Amino acid sequence: MLRLLRSIWIWTASSVLVLSWTPLLAVVRLFDRDPRHLRTGRWFRRLGRALAKINPWQVRVSGRENLVAGQVYVIVSNHQSMADIPVISHLAVDAKWLVKAELFRVPLLGWMLRMAGDVPVERSDRRKGAKALLQCARLLRHGCSIVCFPEGTRSRDGQVLPFSEGPFQLAIREQVPILPLVVEGSAGALPRNSWIFGGSRTVELNVLPAVAVDGWGTERSAELRDQVRRSIVDELSRLRAAASHPRAAPLN
């Protein structure tokens, strides 16, 4: 019953936030003269952080030293839950997100995605997928990073699904380093196919060292994809092992 009541409160508070943020973002967008709409994007990510704060989560970010200010990246992350989006919004990086097109059709949320300049992608249409990657390439050339989930969908069991090659081919073609992220704990925060939120928990966001693409050709994009995926899987295993075997408290 407590989880049910808490979930009702969180959804209500989230709806109020989204409802109030939409006109605010519209005003920011109106005065955002940068063709990349970076200021609008920053205010949109603030909504993600605000949504995380009304939840009983502690977001713990590590590896910030691997994020170089001003560097453009293709940012890839594992995908456990819709909660991943507000969690990753804690990173101070100017980026556009490659987002499934269905979200652009959601009232208010879809409007804000468009105002922020995020990129819709139809997962079931290869031609539209290629068009979305071309749009991402233009953004990279204009100094804006890209965030994507190469699994394409949320994992059902917490295991990392196979990655698509698209983001890695994009990074190689544009000669932009890949920045891998690892999210752990978000699956229980908001389980897939459920509107009931989990209880208090720590959600980890770990920024791994960037992977340079110098010397890589597109014919080796699958190899690069597998290398990056392996680093994410290894870090996820390390986080889970550390959580299951916490260090004993020191004796006084």
Assess whether pLDDT exceeds 90 at residue 56.
no
Check: pTM over 0.75? Answer yes or no.
yes
pLDDT per residue as tens digits for the range 79-104: 999 899 999 999 989 999 999 999 99
pLDDT given for residue 170 in this prediction: 96
Q: Residue 252 — pLDDT band, cuts 50, 70, 90?
A: very low
Characterize the bridge pairing of strands 178-184 and 201-207: antiparallel
Domain parsing of the chain, residue ranges? 2-243
Q: Residue 122 — pLDDT band, cuts 50, 70, 90?
A: confident
Q: CATH for 2-243?
A: 3.40.1130
Q: Which one, of 99, 131, 101, lies nearest residue 118 by Cα?
A: 99
Give the mean pLDDT of the chain: 91
Q: From the centroid of its chain, how far is CA 219? A: 27
